[in-house]
Chain A
Amino acid sequence: MTSIGTGYDLSNSVFSPDGRNFQVEYAVKAVENGGTSIGIRCKDGVVLAVEKVITSKLLKPGANKRIATIDRHMGAVSSGLVPDGRHFVSRAREEASSWRKVYKSPISTSDLASRMGGYLQAYTLYSSVRPFGITAIVAGWDSEVETPVDAQVGNGPSIGSGGKAEGKKYGGPGLYMIEPSGIYWGYYGAATGKGRQTAKAELEKLDLAAGTLSLEDGVKEAARIIYVAHDDNKDKEFELEMTWISNLEGPTKGRHQEVPKELLEEAERLAKKALEGDDDDEETTDKPEDKMEE
């Protein structure tokens, strides 16, 4: 690596002569070694999924959750240094609750991403701190209908003028990915961690921009993609953790919750089947080729 030995990579917030901040780039390296995390923005909700590599047989199965709730309607997952991920989450929770204190209503996903982008960026500015060793994916559902502000007790007069714009569409699913530099983008499908390349390739096949994928199919795709992305790393066992947020009519009523056990198991079964199917396909297509070459 060209950065090593130049001395420009030893402290945070220092530019190299060609305008790079190496400590931020090294933080990204910490992310690239972490378990794969993905998020999918569906028409009626958002899904988060993470591959948890089992580092020890002594770990309690099913415990040690990696996807966190930020506010009732919002969740986050990250790849990289797990304790940094927890720091990210506790700050995000503070942002969400302070937003409620000021505005008496939930923070939107885009506003939270903006706040957290700013927070991570601040950790690239000073030599007294290091950047976050994580890339985080934030998912939320912003209410599509007018909801009462927090602690609203009544509706006031039922007659008289209102101030609502007719026909304007509000709310919907939100999905953002925030990197160690503090940069963030909105996504239809986001992936980070070790298996991100494979996962991204799979996400691109889904044509998410069309906005037709249903939440339940999204859950199944998410499970499959985590399994596919893990495939290169077969020797290590892993646990799949998934959460979702549906619209107000949907199964979670706009709340961030774990995907129910039955659906999770069903999605995992389908994912394994799809993998086996792939292998079969390869075998059947490979065999004639092999013969021809021979």
Chain B
Amino acid sequence: MFRNNYDNDSVTFSPQGRIFQVEYASEAVKQGSVVVGIVSKTHAVLVALKRNAEELSSYQKKVFAIDEHLGLSIAGLASDARVLSNFMKQQSLSSRLTYGRAIPLERLVSAIGDRAQTNTQHYGKRPYGVGLLVAGVDETGPHLFEFQPSGMTQEMVACAIGARSQMARTYLERNLDEFAACGKEDLIKHGLRALKESLAQDKELTVENCSVGVVGLGKEEILEPFKLFDGQDVRQWVDLVADGTEGEGGEGGETMEVDT
């Protein structure tokens, strides 16, 4: 079998100028269950599909609050995500302590991007095996950022990462023009519909496997702090997008891919 000699570490370029270890790390992101993020002019939402190891076990947490004004959702290695989110919590807190200011999202996301880049340029380190969607509100309004293992960070209008997320992205692209004007409720509905597109055939959205995170600006630009909804708290939205209540039929994805 052909042996790729250029993929043993993240300090070796292939003759085409690629770094395979970094590309493999982004495969780890695709092993994680899907998460979706969308922003409007007033709100940013994160919607995630949670997985359980077995029928009787609990579900893996997918959405985390970082500070009053922001939160994130993860796809990939949860332990790597914890390292990054702990760092983000420290940075947010330090900004509040030093300046009395909520940290600008762009700066926080760049900081983890810079950290991740270091892991791709030094021997003995490995890239982070996790992708993040970071949603929040700062002085310049609501924002959504995507973080990748390469250290690439991008501001998005909407985004989906994780297993079978292409279908969710297709949904998002189709409805892109509607998002800006959406309120909180509509944004969550769009998020759940996008999530539904990415479900394996034998799966459906339930109160057990859905997480929703919301942050935004309410009346008179007052901050509505990042709030995480789980369990019965998401029923209100899960029921809204359940099969049969909407015109949208489930179009076929790849067959028989069990998402565990």
Beta-carbon nearest neighbor of B38 in chain A: A58
**Do A83 and B150 touch (CB < 8 A)?**
yes
Q: Is the interface of B mostly helix, strand, loop or mixed?
A: loop
- For the complex, is A64 an interface residue (Cβ under 8 Å from B)? yes
Determine the chain A residues whose CB is within 8 A of the CB of B152 once the complex forms. Answer: 82-83
- For the complex, is A185 an interface residue (Cβ under 8 Å from B)? no
Total count of chain A residues near the partner, CB < 8 A: 38
- For the complex, is B101 an interface residue (Cβ under 8 Å from A)? no
- With A26-B17, A133-B13 already in contact, the answer to whether A123 and B114 are too (CB < 8 A) is no
Question: In the bound complex, how far is the Cα of B57 from the Cα of A19, in angstroms?
Answer: 60
- For the complex, is A86 an interface residue (Cβ under 8 Å from B)? yes
- For the complex, is B123 an interface residue (Cβ under 8 Å from A)? yes
Indicate with 1 or 0, residue by residue over B132-170, a CB within 8 angstroms of chain A CB atoms. 000000000000100000111011111100000000010
**Do B156 and A60 touch (CB < 8 A)?**
yes
Q: Is the interface of A mostly helix, strand, loop or mixed?
A: loop
Instruction: Out of B6, B15, B114, name the residue touching A90 (CB < 8 Å).
Output: B114
Question: In the bound complex, how far is the Cα of B157 from the Cα of A26, in angstroms?
Answer: 34
**Do B151 and A83 touch (CB < 8 A)?**
yes
Tell me the minimal C-beta distance from B44 to chain A in angstroms.
12
Question: Which of A5-13, A38-46, A236-244 is near enough to bind chain B?
Answer: A5-13
Indicate with 1 or 0, residue by residue over A57-71, a CB within 8 angstroms of chain B CB atoms. 111100110000000
Question: In the bound complex, how far is the Cα of B121 from the Cα of A83, in angstroms?
Answer: 10
**Do B158 and A129 touch (CB < 8 A)?**
no
- With A58-B176, A87-B121, A123-B121 already in contact, the answer to whether A26 and B13 are too (CB < 8 A) is yes
**Do B15 and A129 touch (CB < 8 A)?**
no
Question: In the bound complex, how far is the Cα of B117 from the Cα of A81, in angstroms?
Answer: 10
- For the complex, is B247 an interface residue (Cβ under 8 Å from A)? no
- For the complex, is A31 an interface residue (Cβ under 8 Å from B)? yes
**Do B157 and A130 touch (CB < 8 A)?**
no
- For the complex, is A84 an interface residue (Cβ under 8 Å from B)? yes
Determine the chain A residues whose CB is within 8 A of the CB of B150 once the complex forms. Answer: 81, 83
**Do B124 and A130 touch (CB < 8 A)?**
no
Question: In the bound complex, how far is the Cα of B10 from the Cα of A3, in angstroms?
Answer: 19
Determine the chain A residues whose CB is within 8 A of the CB of B110 once the complex forms. Answer: 86
Question: In the bound complex, how far is the Cα of B113 from the Cα of A178, in angstroms?
Answer: 23
**Do A130 and B17 touch (CB < 8 A)?**
no
Question: In the bound complex, how far is the Cα of B54 from the Cα of A160, in angstroms?
Answer: 87
Determine the chain A residues whose CB is within 8 A of the CB of B215 once the complex forms. Answer: none
Question: In the bound complex, how far is the Cα of B20 from the Cα of A26, in angstroms?
Answer: 13
- For the complex, is A128 an interface residue (Cβ under 8 Å from B)? yes
Beta-carbon nearest neighbor of A87 in chain B: B117
Instruction: Out of A1, A27, A33, A58, name the residue touching B169 (CB < 8 Å).
Output: A58
Determine the chain B residues whose CB is within 8 A of the CB of A100 once the complex forms. Answer: none
Beta-carbon nearest neighbor of A32 in chain B: B17
- For the complex, is A245 an interface residue (Cβ under 8 Å from B)? no
Determine the chain B residues whose CB is within 8 A of the CB of A129 once the complex forms. Answer: 11, 121-123
**Do B17 and A58 touch (CB < 8 A)?**
no
Tell me the minimal C-beta distance from A2 to chain B in angstroms.
10
Question: In the bound complex, how far is the Cα of B157 from the Cα of A33, in angstroms?
Answer: 26
- For the complex, is B75 an interface residue (Cβ under 8 Å from A)? no
- For the complex, is A4 an interface residue (Cβ under 8 Å from B)? yes
- With A83-B151, A128-B122 already in contact, the answer to whether A60 and B157 are too (CB < 8 A) is yes
**Do A10 and B6 touch (CB < 8 A)?**
yes
Instruction: Out of A4, A22, A87, A128, name the residue touching B118 (CB < 8 Å).
Output: A87
- For the complex, is A30 an interface residue (Cβ under 8 Å from B)? yes
Question: In the bound complex, how far is the Cα of B13 from the Cα of A29, in angstroms?
Answer: 9
- With A12-B11, A60-B155, A86-B117 already in contact, the answer to whether A130 and B173 are too (CB < 8 A) is no
Determine the chain B residues whose CB is within 8 A of the CB of A59 once the complex forms. Answer: 154-157
**Do B173 and A58 touch (CB < 8 A)?**
yes
Tell me the minimal C-beta distance from B107 to chain A in angstroms.
12
Indicate with 1 or 0, residue by residue over A97-117, a CB within 8 angstroms of chain B CB atoms. 000000000000000000000
**Which 10 interchain pairs have the tightest Cβ spacing?**
A29-B17, A83-B151, A30-B17, A26-B13, A63-B155, A83-B117, A130-B11, A128-B123, A60-B155, A57-B173
A: residues with CB less than 8 A from B are: 1, 3-4, 9-12, 22-23, 26-33, 56-60, 63-64, 81-84, 86-87, 90, 123, 127-131, 133
Given A30-B18, A86-B117, A127-B11, 18 new contacts (CB under 8 A): A9-B15, A23-B13, A30-B17, A31-B17, A33-B17, A56-B156, A60-B157, A63-B155, A83-B113, A83-B120, A83-B152, A86-B113, A86-B114, A90-B114, A123-B121, A129-B11, A130-B19, A133-B17
12 A/B residue pairs, CB under 8 Å, sorted by A: A23-B12, A26-B17, A28-B17, A30-B17, A30-B18, A56-B169, A58-B169, A83-B117, A84-B121, A86-B114, A127-B11, A128-B122
B: residues with CB less than 8 A from A are: 5-6, 10-19, 110, 113-114, 116-118, 120-124, 144, 150-152, 154-159, 169, 172-173, 176
